[in-house]
Amino acid sequence: MVSSISILGGRGKDGRPDAVRRIDFQMGQVVSIVGPTGSGKTTLINDIELFAHQDTPTGRTILLNGQPVPKEFRYNPAYNPIALITQHTTFLSDLPVGEFLAAHCRVRSRNGDRLDLISQALEFANQLTGEPIEPTYRMTELSGGQTRALLIADAAVICSTPVVLLDEVENAGIHRARAIQLLRQHRKIFIFVTHDPWIALLSDFRIVMQAGRIFRVLSTSEEERALSVHVYQLDDVLCRLREKLRQGERLSAKELQEVA
Amino acid sequence: MKLIICAGPATTGKTSVLRHIIRKLLAAGKRPAYLKLDVQFAEEDQLLAKEFGIPTKKVYTGELCPDHCHVMVLGDALRWADRVGTDILLVETAGLCLRCSPYVNGGLGLVVLEATSGMNLPLKVGPMLSLADTAVVTKIDRVSQAEREVFRSRIQDAAPQVLVREVNALHGIGIDPLVAQALDSPDVVEPLLLRGNPPVGTCTICVGRREIGWQAHFGVVRPLENQTFYRGE
């Protein structure tokens, strides 16, 4: 069982060392990775997902339960404790959705096929998208939002791993708050790459990236936690505006009353 | 002399993978040489010679089938590599007709496939995959984790005994296990034989002569140095 993941520091693009030499993630924690675009956020979660052992350009090392990662975790997806939801908004796999999910079920399960998971995954995904995904649709035909929704559902239902990495879930064009609510029904380590204040403030701590290096680690303060409630309200209002626009409705000044 | 033969469809990243392997072989104190076989255009030999200062060579196969050409010149190439003072020869050969495979007994056979390929590609490339030792999957950053894992399983379904190693050839991630395999492979001992039986046909290679080196063949033969001639009946 995975109970913790650790990052041992490496270096940034200019060769300067990470300012924090070790970061530990404990089971049940939610962590954000923040920083300007190009600052190395995606590289950091790729290091985690690839179980870097000083063999990536950053020279970082990943430990599981404080130990080096066993080989089979690296080469056998059935043992891989990490699900990564990348920023991809298109699939390149030329398979129908149902067939792809069945193949991934076989890859990820250690004890036989769990084909019941396919309908569960689709049900999960369809709670996040405007237009439902059918198992007969080809993967390559899905919209950007459907692609991200299916990736999240695949990670949660089919991978069902103790660690989930999410790269900018807010850009997915999906129901983000619903996604996070569904995901958090399970006790896991969640690591979000995000530009979203609400996601950053609901985290236990956040890792700040700069020029490819880990610049600092900030625990979420009490004040920030209190603030997150208001941030959520603001966000909720914007979401409702967006939804009304999408549905072809007109907007009025009273939409903003509750946050004015 | 150790021998690594690297095959794979065009533009999958064979040269990028070999570039990282060469860099790490040099760091491990080895003396690699590089031979590129391509049908009509290649500049990788010059680029690698310039970057690493290693002996390199290229052969344009022209109207000769690339696998046929490979069989002809590989014997000479091992002697060339020996003559120029190297101890590990890396041979890169371009996309073939998918009925042959260029790997030989004793050497290390790598096939380079890209994760962005269709899910049926592993079923389509035949012996180029099934007779390799390791399938190197490139461009892993271009697809989702789920697609990468399903592609891996597709390779394993098509060729269960082939090791699968995912790499990011752009940044050299995942190259270490390939270098370890190269260093662990034994020196090759002549006479070398192709691993697979070539398809039915009319030339000596097509009718199943697997011996490496133009001396063992007749019909359209060629040595490493650039000429084509006809020998025997």
Of A46, A56, A93, the CB nearest to B147: A93
- Chain B residues in contact with A50 by the CB 8 A cut-off are 173-174
CATH label of the domain that carries residue A171:
3.40.50.300
Interface contact flag, A93 B149, Cβ < 8 Å: no
- Domain coordinates in residue numbering, chain B: 2-228
Do A228 and A211 fall into the same domain? no
Domain span at residue A76 reads: 4-220
Catalogue the E-assigned strands of A37-182: 61-64, 67-68, 82-85, 163-167
A13 touches chain B (CB under 8 A): no
The CATH number, out of the four listed (1.10.150.240, 2.170.190.11, 3.40.50.300, 1.10.10.10), of the domain defined by the range B2-228: 3.40.50.300
Q: How many Cβ atoms sit within 10 Å of the Cβ of residue B168?
A: 22
> pLDDT, tens digit, for every residue of A59-112?
999 999 999 998 888 888 989 999 999 988 889 888 999 999 999 999 898 766
Do A229 and A189 fall into the same domain? no
Residues 6+ apart with CB under 8 A from B200: B206, B207
CA angle A210, A213, A218 (to 5 degrees): 70
pLDDT band at B167 (very low <50, low <70, confident <90, very high): very high
Catalogue the E-assigned strands of A72-154: 82-85
Task: Out of A188, A205, A220, pick the residue that ends a domain.
Answer: A220
Do A166 and A45 fall into the same domain? yes
Which of A46, A60, A82, A86 should we substitute to test contact with B (largest number of B Cβ atoms within 10 Å)? A86
Do A75 and A147 fall into the same domain? yes
Of B141, B144, B171, the CB nearest to A91: B144
Of A55, A92, A151, the CB nearest to B176: A55
Do A105 and A211 fall into the same domain? yes
Q: What CA–CA distance (Å, rounded) separates A63 from A48?
A: 9
Q: What is the rounded average pLDDT of the residues B187-201?
A: 85
Do A159 and A260 fall into the same domain? no
Number of folded domains in chain A? 2
> pLDDT, tens digit, for every residue of B28-63?
999 999 999 988 888 999 999 999 999 999 998 887
Do A36 and A21 fall into the same domain? yes
Q: Is 60 exceeded by the pLDDT of residue B233?
A: no
> pLDDT, tens digit, for every residue of B114-129?
999 889 899 988 899 9
| pTM (two decimals) | 0.87
- Chain A residues in contact with B23 by the CB 8 A cut-off are none
Do A260 and A246 fall into the same domain? yes
Do A159 and A30 fall into the same domain? yes
Complex-level ipTM: 0.86
Residue-wise pLDDT tens for chain A (260 aa)?
899 999 999 999 899 999 999 999 999 999 999 999 999 999 999 999 999 999 899 999 999 999 999 888 888 898 999 999 998 888 988 899 999 999 999 989 876 667 789 999 999 999 988 789 999 999 999 998 899 999 999 999 999 899 999 998 776 667 777 888 888 888 899 999 999 998 999 899 999 999 999 999 999 999 999 998 888 888 888 888 888 898 899 998 888 887 76
Do A116 and A168 fall into the same domain? yes
B143 touches chain A (CB under 8 A): yes
| Counts of helices then strands in chain B (DSSP H, E) | 7, 9
